[in-house]
Amino acid sequence: MCGISGIIQREGSVQRRSIAHMNRRLAHRGRDDEGMWIEGRVGLGHRRLSIMDLSDAGHQPMESDRCVIVYNGEVFNFRQIRERLVSEGMHFHSDSDTEVVLRAYEQYGMDSLKMFNGMFAFALYDKQARKLFLVRDRYGIKPLYLYRSHSQLCFASELKAIVGLDGVSVHLNKEAITAYLQFHYIPHPQTPYEEIVKLTPGSYCEIDTDTLVCDVVRYDTPSYEPVENRLTLQEAADRTETLLQDAVSLRMIADVEVGSFLSGGVDSGVITAMAAAHTGKPLQTFSVGYRDADLFDESAFAMRIARRYGTKHHRLVADFDAVYDRLEEIIVSMDEPNADTSVFLNFFLAEETKRHVSVALSGLGGDELFGGYNRHRAFVWGKYLSYLPKGLAGSLISRGRSDRTSRWGNRMRQLGRLLHSLDRDPAASYLKMISYQQLITPEIPVRRYRIEEVLKYDLTYYMSDNLLALSDRMSMAHTLEMRVPFLDYRMVSHAFALASKYKTSLWQSKIVLKKVAEKYMDHDMIYRRKQGFAAPIEQWLRREGQERISSLTDISFLSRFLPEACIRDDMYRFYVLGQDRALQIYSYLVLSLWYRLHKEYLDD
């Protein structure tokens, strides 16, 4: 895994010190090697984490007579593509997948993108055509940011390589910050800065290096319509298992050791079980546990899976003091404001994992493909419950305490959120389910109460801009590569083609995936209540106390987006009345710290 960057000047030559600056800001993404390529008005930079072909032959930028490329990621089926290219007369000088991507473009042009099964973001400069292509994988596993002004165009794997660069001027994107307060992440193509965008997953940007004119083209437009309605549950499970086994097998390919995150849930449990069959020695697995927070701790289940498959298991105990001490470091590593409470868990888990391996498999994607979240079942229920009398919601909610620190309180919280979300318009219902503030009304493409519509939305935004973004930044902060077998494009196509009844029903979630898991995990582990990979943020905020949290919260800045009374009311309801406002308060804290650490780059 790597960090890539580049500059195109409208006039004059790219300065070597500018590319060097971008490389320094991306050093954490690749500590094994660095390189620069500059030719007049075009300059490319690269930081390398060596995973495939550890020799100098894999050095980047990689140049041929026609093209030069800087590449971040992995194309897992590169060997099959290479064999095809060799049969067609292509010659290779390395064993890297980078060269396969380069040669595939030279042979097939941008049609080659449809051949790639992997996770990647790359920039390829065609010297003959005088065009630069910026490319991002189908689901946004790897990041790519783009800045354009009248005089120059810059791109990089992370925002920090662009802001602060000579000639770059950025302003706060108020619409994006408003979206953050509503969703706790920023949906693409927006970023915290008005002048910088995220390249849309599954697309490429074709740039004329003479005029800086950009054309964005979607190369992947998947179907999300169920078509395999005649399969039995067992047939659907067999097909799912076969595809997942092949996806895991491909992602075990590396010239360094591969480990696996193991939370104890179905997704990571099945991935770990399959991965263990591909190693000649015990697979190294990694999990996070907590002190005095049983509701959030799955480490006991992780240990059961580790014992069953003979893995060498590493359990990290989360330390809230360490979180507080390193919160600023984590926020700087994240680049964008993000209030998902798994951010700092991923940070510490990646730090521990990197001490032992350089690549780790993740179970991300299972919930988005097969309907694993409580809100997915709530959406299915919503079709029927939306006809309840409006006053019933309030009377039911008022009967019990709503919080996150007990199973009963958490259930009341979830019930309350569901009942408050009821609307006969499915898009309005889902927007209420996923919103923490009612600030904006974005266009959500949910037209019917069909589970595929919300799964598509979650895969497109929640997965790409939240879970994958935070996982990439937190793993790469420690130069660790993370791989996600569930996001093999064949698995995604298969999951959406399955009948709805095999995903989520009124009473069960991830139906077909749990059927697969029965072969690999104990029944009580598969069909227990979902816990999820989240931190006990409510306990942490209460332990720190209102005075300390308030001192870190910049109400003056926040009031540019929210009424000050709303912010103070959330503090009062949480700390005085004991109500469930922990995530809102945490989002204020994160945004305040992000602004303090990044405002030097703003020209506001």
Catalytic residue annotation = 2
Listing DSSP states for 45-77 in one string gives EEEE---S--SGGG-SSEE-SSEEEEEEEEETT
Tokens coding 86: 């060799």
203 in Cβ contact with 133 (< 8 Å): no
Please tell me the distance from the alpha carbon of residue 290 to that of residue 356, in angstroms, as a whole number.
21
| Coil, helix or strand at residue 318 | coil
Please tell me the distance from the alpha carbon of residue 152 to that of residue 14, in angstroms, as a whole number.
10
Which one-letter amino acid corresponds to residue 508?
Answer: Q
Q: Where are the alpha helices (DSSP H) in 386-506?
A: 390-397, 407-421, 426-434, 451-457, 469-476, 489-497
Tokens coding 265: 């849930």
- Using a CB cutoff of 8 Å and minimum separation of 24, what contacts does 105-111 make? 105/67, 105/133, 106/64, 106/66, 106/67, 110/204, 110/206, 110/217, 110/219
User: What is the Cα Rg of the chain in Å?
Assistant: 24
Please tell me the distance from the alpha carbon of residue 78 to that of residue 55, in angstroms, as a whole number.
17
Handedness of CA 351, 355, 359, 361 (dihedral sign): negative
Question: Which burial class, exposed, middle or buried, applies to 445 when counting CB atoms under 10 A from its CB (0-12, 13-18, 19+)?
Answer: exposed
Tokens coding 264: 């104890």
Tokens coding 191: 């970023």
Phi, psi of 135 (to 5 degrees): -130, 140
Q: How many residues make up the chain in this entry?
A: 604
Which residue has tokens 């800065």? 193
What are the beta bridge partners of residue 208? 131
Nearest to residue 165, comparing CAs of 154, 176, 149, 151? 154
